[in-house]
Amino acid sequence: MNLKVFFLGAGSMICGILVAILIFQLWPSQLETETQKTKWEQKSKVFGKDFELNDEQRVIVLVILSGFLGSYVHVTSSFANFVGDKKFEGSWTWWYLLRPFIGMGLSLIFYFVFRGGLFVSDSVATNLNIYGIMTLAALSGLFSDRATLKLEEIFESLFKPKDDRQGKLK
């Protein structure tokens, strides 16, 4: 077995485990309140270290991790298929390494688009459907190519840009 393939595979497994642990440790736990409103615990323990996150910060971190997780699933599936078929190309190494980070950024952009456009502006993080938000983030990471095209479509329909430049980047 190629050493590069081994380290990519092993590193990928470690990253997947770490992201799953982080999501588990940062998942909001509800507190009982006198007013019966949903409130999340502000403190989390991540790898033995105490962190304090407000509700909005927690959702953003979870969205980023979920986007990573979605892209991770895509990357590791692709990697396993190509290695298994003995068609792995070393020139794709950076694609495998960078794709989860693209998923992170894209999931955050999708979160901002949906949160900014589809929800009432005064809604608080604890009123959001955290499962729905995490699903959207994971899917935008998993299908990042298609998600990017959808964002382009949304942008073009909102702003209707007219660009007659020659030699422009596409």
Of 42, 68, 74, 44, give the one whose Cα is nearest residue 55: 42
Of 21, 29, 30, 32, give the one whose Cα is nearest residue 68: 21
Residue 169: inside a domain: no
Structural domain total, the chain = 1
Residue 166: inside a domain: no
Domain that holds residue 131: 3-159
Residue 24: inside a domain: yes
**In this predicted model, which residue has the larger pLDDT, 40 or 88?**
88
pTM: 0.79
Confidence at residue 45, expressed as pLDDT on a 0 to 100 scale: 79
Share of the chain above pLDDT 70, in %: 89
Residue 144: inside a domain: yes
Question: Binning pLDDT at 50, 70 and 90, where does residue 49 land?
Answer: confident
Residue 18: inside a domain: yes
Residue 170: inside a domain: no
Report long-range pairs for 81-90 (Cβ below 8 Å, ≥24 apart): 83/5, 83/9, 88/2, 88/5, 90/4
Question: Binning pLDDT at 50, 70 and 90, where does residue 120 land?
Answer: low
Mean pLDDT of 146-156: 82
Residue 41: inside a domain: yes
Confidence at residue 118, expressed as pLDDT on a 0 to 100 scale: 57
Confidence at residue 129, expressed as pLDDT on a 0 to 100 scale: 81
Residue 143: inside a domain: yes
Reported as a single tens digit per residue, the pLDDT across 75-104 is 999 999 999 999 999 899 999 999 999 999
